[in-house]
Amino acid sequence: MFTGALGLHYGLENIGAAIVPSSTGNSEKQIMYMKDFGTTLLVATPSYALRLAEVALEMGIDPVKDLNVKIGLVGSELLTDSMREEVHKFWGKDMLVTSNYGMSELMGPGVSGECEYLDGMHINEDFFIPEIINPQTGEVLPEGEQGELVITCIKKEGLPLIRYRTKDITRLNYAPCKCGRTFCRMENLSGRSDDMLKIRGVNVFPSQIEEVILSFSELGPHYEIVVEREGYSDKLTIRVELAKSTDSFTELDNLTKSIANKIKIILGLDAKIKLESPNTLKRFEGKAKRIVDLRSK
């Protein structure tokens, strides 16, 4: 399950909204719910919002005319301007599409979100104290400078976090906002200070993939992680070298399936595994560049 769902569930109950819990997938059923209940707010990753619209159209339901969704609260993936345009294309130009930010360690969704003026995500400063630091030195940077976001939770119980390094790179804006809210705003993330990847909204550390690869004696230590965009979804491909060449199709097929299965268990993601002959992948002097992220291209 997506951890964000629990935070939203109890938060929405708290404001008196009716909740219809639903697991991931089952897109047809979710669209039926949206139609039957006249749902006005959609909370999703931007790519799932697009996927839902596609499924609706396949079912003969026009998301703009036949559904009643007025606000799209999207998060967990970067919402670029072009992605926001795509969401409008499917859900109508009048839908308010806001970008939102949170992380499981801090309480899931709700750390910050855009208001109707779409000019940076207001950080809920009654809950969180934000700071921006230089990720190399740890020094606190002056207002408006770009650096790593560090957050202290003021009210969280059970797992208090003090000056927690999010590893997300952004900058803070303390200028007053047109909406009247006085909470500062953080701009869209421009990257990470570590090598974590977001694939289909799931946090992936290359070290997790490496651990799986190293657990197979049939594989060598050389690999490459390729992330691409296919339609509105991210596609993960892992290219890995065999330790020894083999011509046995059955052996290769079984090995591919076992690796994919182990990746699925650890990351919760489907990955395409491509086995390569020994000594075919690029070698590096110094720090290896094992991640090829083609999504922004």
User: Which residues contact Zn ion (rule: CB under 5 A)?
Assistant: 115, 177, 179, 181
Closest approach of Cβ 130 to Zn ion, in Å?
16
| Cβ distance to Zn ion smaller for residue 59 or 177 | 177
Strand order in the sheet with 128-133: 128-133, 147-153, 164-170, 191-192
| Cβ distance to Zn ion smaller for residue 140 or 179 | 179
| Cβ distance to Zn ion smaller for residue 63 or 110 | 110
| Cβ distance to Zn ion smaller for residue 25 or 180 | 180
Are 196 and 204 contacting, i.e. CB atoms less than 8 angstroms apart? yes
Write phi, then psi, for 171 (nearest 5 degrees). -140, 155
Lookup result for tokens 């345009």: 85
Token reading at 39? 């749902």
Closest approach of Cβ 179 to Zn ion, in Å?
3
Closest approach of Cβ 111 to Zn ion, in Å?
15
| Cβ distance to Zn ion smaller for residue 115 or 240 | 115
190-203 burial, b at 16+ Cβ within 10 Å, e below that, comes to eeebeeebbbbbbe
Determine the Cα–Cα distance for residues 72 and 265; give it in Å rounded to an integer.
31
Q: Which amino acid is at 223?
A: Y
Closest approach of Cβ 15 to Zn ion, in Å?
19
| Cβ distance to Zn ion smaller for residue 181 or 295 | 181
Closest approach of Cβ 98 to Zn ion, in Å?
10
Closest approach of Cβ 113 to Zn ion, in Å?
10
